[in-house]
Structure 1
Amino acid sequence: MAKRPKKKGVTAKEAAADQSNLSIIYIHGIANKPAPAVLKRQWDMALFGVDMGSRTRMAYWADIRYPQPLPSTMTEAKAMILSESYRPRSDEEIIDESKRLAPYGKDAEAFAQKLAKRMLDQSKKDQIRAQDGTLDVKDVQAKILPPWIRRSATEWITKQFIEDVAAYFYNQEQRKAIQERFRSLLNPEGGPYFVIAHSLGTVISYDIMRELTAGSGAQTPYYITLGSPLGIDEVQDNLRKPVRIPAPVKQWDNFADLLDPVAFDKSLSGEFAPTGKIDDDIVINRDTLRLSGFNPHSATGYLATKNVQTTVRKILGSSFAEPLSPFIVARDLAAEMADPTERFPVLIELKEEMTGKTLEEKRKNLIEELTRLTDRQRAAKIDPLRRFVAAELTSIEIDTLAVRHPQLQIARIWKNSEKRALLDKSTHVVQAYTAQLGYGATGRGITWAVLDTGIAADHPHFKTYNNIAAQWDCTGIGAPRMPKTGDVGDGSGHGTHVAGIIAGSGTGENALYRGMAPEAKLHIYKVLDDDGRGSDSWVIKALDHIASINEASPSLVIHGVNLSLGGPFDPTVYGTGFSPLCRELRRLWRMGVVVCIAAGNEGRLIIETFAGQQELNLDLSIGDPANLDEGIAVGSVHKEQPHLYGISYFSSRGPTADGRAKPDLVAPGERIVSCNARFAAKRPATHYVPMSGTSMACPHVSGIVAAFLSSRREFIGRPDQVKAFLLSHCTDLKRDRYHQGAGMPNLVRMLAET
């Protein structure tokens, strides 16, 4: 059958008018699939060559039929080979087996047998015509493929199609659940929508779109069907009559491969009223051209064809797939949103225009909307911050917020990313002990915030100078909480170890263990759980609290913060150093608070290869928020012989993803001895323990700056000058700038030259 002449369809001008707010909805077809996010990305890559983030959504229903998804590396071709149906069988065997595939009564069995016979008969006809040239097959590979490969593929596809289509038509519970997956993405307030459907997905989407009316509710002006069974009489018998083009559809393009056993009626134009309005196009599925993995019904094979891509590009315009397009839902969040049943941790950022409602009013309105939208479910974990609201929402709830973002004054919806503790004789190495003795730089009168896993506040190390000024738990919903009794605790031990490097002093036989600024006061914020894991929202909650304390006082109360935590980031989502967390840290810096951040422990990576484990040393491994330009990013160096052994193998290296030099400097981070949260009070030998990582290097710098400020108070509230002075007085270790930064801090030099 020759390709039909193209109809006029929607004009380029009309398409351009819709393109600015057009959303694509994919709906997949038969057989089990990989996890939702994996499948969506496969379709994005096949059609556009890039991950499209929130601009495309997948109506995923495979889990309703198949509880366990395919592994991400499992293709349909591999699944075909592994199935027992890959053994060629007679038509009679397949038709007889089809009854078992439709266990929903006599009508379902009769439907399955009739459909199996028709599919097998049509497949034989198509293959014969492909061989003798009466079909317009332009690629010789389809002709010379061994018949047993084509036969086996046809058997497998036929079995999967009959099994799934019978369930859809004759299992009403599954049919309703499957339909709801597609219907839920058609937000009446959103759109317009461009629906791209494959296989049984064309039946499901048609079923729902047939209910829509033009001009009201969800609008679906563009419709592409791939390998569709909508032309099959047995399928049409189960659809609403008469079969006609859905009212909102302005342009319908249908694509079929000549050897696709599901789309054996290649033309839909004459089937759906008004006739002649559907553009039917014969294509060669990319997976038809493969000897290994032959599959003329492959969804990604259809999406990768030039005909489909050209049609999509004409509708969307060339800029739709631009990676840097504006967005409301961040790309890394959108990439995970394909699973309709899961809740995703989000950070909803409020607009901060000076006109109109106050930030407090906007936050209140958003919380009311979230409460209504989530039906007051506790699972939503709605947690208001200053400029953000954290929550755990379903993909449908996120989509609803995105559609209503102008009314709700939402700037962006970000992924609430995970942060983790960066754990993988030092006072003398950075000259802190000498400065304490010679300059009285002990941290007295300086307060530092430690954002970490908490603290064992009863540790003797913190009793000598009564270092712990306040403790706050930020790991729950609501405002930071002070412990009613005892302290916030530290099930991890990481936070206690970090705090002990900044301040405090041992006694008796442990008197040699002193913090960099032994007399500094500490405000402890628990932002990581006892496994050393937390979220951006918990950290931002602590930063909001620190800002409010400083704003309520005529002078700074908290002079600096230590963040021995971090995580990876996606530079396609936001500029390097401009994540929500980085922007809140920048506000604090501009308030006059020094920000010290561990650079990360990603300098060494172990990967699995066919030859076994291989180790790689990585540049460009600075994490988030260490990539904040204003902050002081701290790498790790050997604690006793830094000139000889240099930078720690695990310490993250620069430059940043946008080309800036980081880390800013390095400090001791290997086997650093500090407070043990699991100490036994009467056994001094258990009071201290060694740990390694940039987590240990960072508090060295926090303590050094606290000690410096206690002796040179004119620099309080001037973090830019403090950072410049700190870096200009480092000891050069003669290592690469992207490894060592300015070198290792020297507190005595800083004090001697001021």
Structure 2
Amino acid sequence: MRPQIVYVHGSGPKPRAALLRAQWDRALFGHGADGTSRLAYWAPLLHSEPLPDREPDPLEGLPGAVAETEAETEAEAEAEAEAEAELPAPPLEDPARFVERTAAAAARVRAAAEGGARGGLGARGGPLDGWLSDMAYLAEALALAEEPRPGPGEEPLPKALPLPRPARTALFRLLVRHTFEDVHAYFFGGFGPAVRQVVAETLDAAEEARGADGGPLVVIGHSLGSVAAYEVLAAGGREVDLFVTLGSPLGIAEVQDHLGVPPAVPPGTALWLNASDARDVVALDHTLRPDYAPPGRITDLLVANASANHHGIGEYLSNPLVREPVRRVLDRAAGPA
């Protein structure tokens, strides 16, 4: 029996495919898994260049991305202020203004895809607006609540939360913006079929590698990748031993409204594990079990994701509540046939 695992990454620009797969392998197994793991690498469909090898993925919540994120946010605000003849935006932009800018950018993408003339500044992003607003305001609340504060007297700041509020706000907003824009492009910008094709082809290769004896197959989707993986599996015709969704927006009503099929456990999927951090702004609804029948095949878990934005895939994969079920399924290949 030859076990296979298929990764489906989430939103935003990513490192090159081989490096990204190796990062997921190390987080999940502690070492490489060549021959066992495959990556459905769809990032080039929406992002023209991969991240440089030494540049951290900003959507992993790594502090190294803060300066670039803050500079990008400031440049966008200054450009819009100049275009609109307004004063420069304050260092911490009002959440409502951030939502408006992000929705307007997504609306322009949708208008271009539909060949229309809608989507100027001030336009709304459409059916996903409620999710965008909820993500943005939760991000603001988390950034403020988790800001390191001095204790009584001269006690030092706690070391567990090293980023001050402006930096944490920048990281959360980058996560919100990229996730919303890519999900919007997936559902309304015409990119969904191409993303699903990449996932389907990767699954085809994994199924061929399993061989005639049908070794165990695990599919792991993160963030938007969980949506694409779900839609491909929901189309049917694939036997999957374990489907794992991490930091997934599949519980969000606005996302469910635009799935290709009604919410349900994909046919052929034996078990479904859905894990998220309660502070993950992408996975606002953390329970899939009530919405995806039959509920007996879904396990929802709240886990601790210690990345700075609580959404990083490395933290999810290295969590024992995620990695141990995956390992148990894959280890079946080493046991009796």
Name the TM-score, length of structure 2 as normaliser: 0.76
Q: Is 1:81 matched up with 2:67?
A: yes
Match of 1:164 among 157, 163, 182: 182
> Is the partner of 1:70 in helix, strand or coil?
coil
Q: Is the 8 A contact 1:286 1:304 kept in 2?
A: no
Match of 1:36 among 8, 12, 17: 17
CA distance in 2, matches of 1:44, 1:53: 9
How does 1:60-459 map onto structure 2 within 5 Å? 60-75=41-56, 76=58, 77=62, 78-83=64-69, 84-85=72-73, 88-98=92-102, 99-102=104-107, 103-105=109-111, 109-123=125-139, 146-172=164-190, 174-187=191-204, 189-191=208-210, 192-213=216-237, 218-287=238-307, 294-317=308-331
Question: 1:62 Cα shift?
Answer: 0.5
Over 3 Å counting, the alpha-carbon distance change for 1:248 and 1:126 in structure 2 is farther
CA distance in 1, matches of 2:145, 2:295: 27
Over 3 Å counting, the alpha-carbon distance change for 1:202 and 1:297 in structure 2 is same
CA distance in 2, matches of 1:245, 1:273: 6
Q: Which amino acid aligns with 2:223?
A: S
CA distance in 2, matches of 1:243, 1:125: 30
> Is the partner of 2:38 in helix, strand or coil?
strand
Structure 2: runs of 5 or more not aligned: 75-90, 112-117, 148-157, 211-215
Question: 1:24 Cα shift?
Answer: 0.3
Question: 1:68 Cα shift?
Answer: 0.9
Q: Which amino acid aligns with 1:154?
A: F
Q: Which has the higher helix share?
A: 2
Question: 1:258 Cα shift?
Answer: 1.8
> Is the partner of 1:284 in helix, strand or coil?
coil
Q: Which amino acid aligns with 1:111?
A: P
Question: 1:45 Cα shift?
Answer: 0.9
Over 3 Å counting, the alpha-carbon distance change for 1:239 and 1:142 in structure 2 is farther
CA distance in 2, matches of 1:148, 1:259: 18
Question: 1:309 Cα shift?
Answer: 1.6
Task: After superposition, give the CA deviation of every residue in 1:488-525 in whole Å (9 maximum; x if it has no partner).
Answer: xxxxxxxxxxxxxxxxxxxxxxxxxxxxxxxxxxxxxx
Structure 1: runs of 5 or more not aligned: 1-19, 132-139, 288-293, 321-754
Q: Which amino acid aligns with 1:64?
A: L
Q: Is the 8 A contact 2:3 2:333 kept in 1?
A: no
Task: After superposition, give the CA deviation of every residue in 1:273-299 in whole Å (9 maximum; x if it has no partner).
Answer: 123531111111142xxxxxx231111
Question: 1:177 Cα shift?
Answer: 1.4
CA distance in 2, matches of 1:47, 1:97: 37
Task: After superposition, give the CA deviation of every residue in 1:607-662 in whole Å (9 maximum; x if it has no partner).
Answer: xxxxxxxxxxxxxxxxxxxxxxxxxxxxxxxxxxxxxxxxxxxxxxxxxxxxxxxx
CA distance in 1, matches of 2:23, 2:96: 36
> Is the partner of 2:131 in helix, strand or coil?
helix
Q: Is the 8 A contact 1:243 1:272 kept in 2?
A: yes
Higher relative contact order (CA 8 A, sep 6+): 2
How does 1:686-725 map onto structure 2 within 5 Å? none
Counting aligned pairs with the same residue, the percent is 31
CA distance in 2, matches of 1:193, 1:317: 11
Q: Is the 8 A contact 1:46 1:300 kept in 2?
A: yes
Over 3 Å counting, the alpha-carbon distance change for 1:252 and 1:227 in structure 2 is same
Q: Is the 8 A contact 1:221 1:250 kept in 2?
A: yes
Q: Which amino acid aligns with 1:207?
A: E
Over 3 Å counting, the alpha-carbon distance change for 1:97 and 1:144 in structure 2 is same
Over 3 Å counting, the alpha-carbon distance change for 1:209 and 1:127 in structure 2 is same
Q: Which amino acid aligns with 1:157?
A: L
> Is the partner of 1:279 in helix, strand or coil?
strand
Q: Which amino acid aligns with 1:194?
A: V
How does 1:608-647 map onto structure 2 within 5 Å? none
Partner of 1:548: none
CA distance in 2, matches of 1:250, 1:55: 20
CA distance in 2, matches of 1:81, 1:45: 27
Question: 1:257 Cα shift?
Answer: 1.2
Task: After superposition, give the CA deviation of every residue in 1:358-395 in whole Å (9 maximum; x if it has no partner).
Answer: xxxxxxxxxxxxxxxxxxxxxxxxxxxxxxxxxxxxxx
Over 3 Å counting, the alpha-carbon distance change for 1:115 and 1:25 in structure 2 is same
Q: Is the 8 A contact 1:35 1:72 kept in 2?
A: yes
Question: 1:142 Cα shift?
Answer: 6.7
Q: Is the 8 A contact 1:286 1:305 kept in 2?
A: no
CA distance in 1, matches of 2:48, 2:36: 27
> Is the partner of 2:295 in helix, strand or coil?
coil
CA distance in 1, matches of 2:235, 2:285: 24
CA distance in 2, matches of 1:232, 1:93: 23
Task: After superposition, give the CA deviation of every residue in 1:72-115 in whole Å (9 maximum; x if it has no partner).
Answer: 11112334531323864211221111211342136982235333
Name the TM-score, length of structure 1 as normaliser: 0.35
Question: 1:223 Cα shift?
Answer: 0.5
Q: Which amino acid aligns with 2:203?
A: L
How many residue pairs match? The answer is 282
> Is the partner of 2:125 in helix, strand or coil?
helix
Match of 2:29 among 48, 73, 84: 48
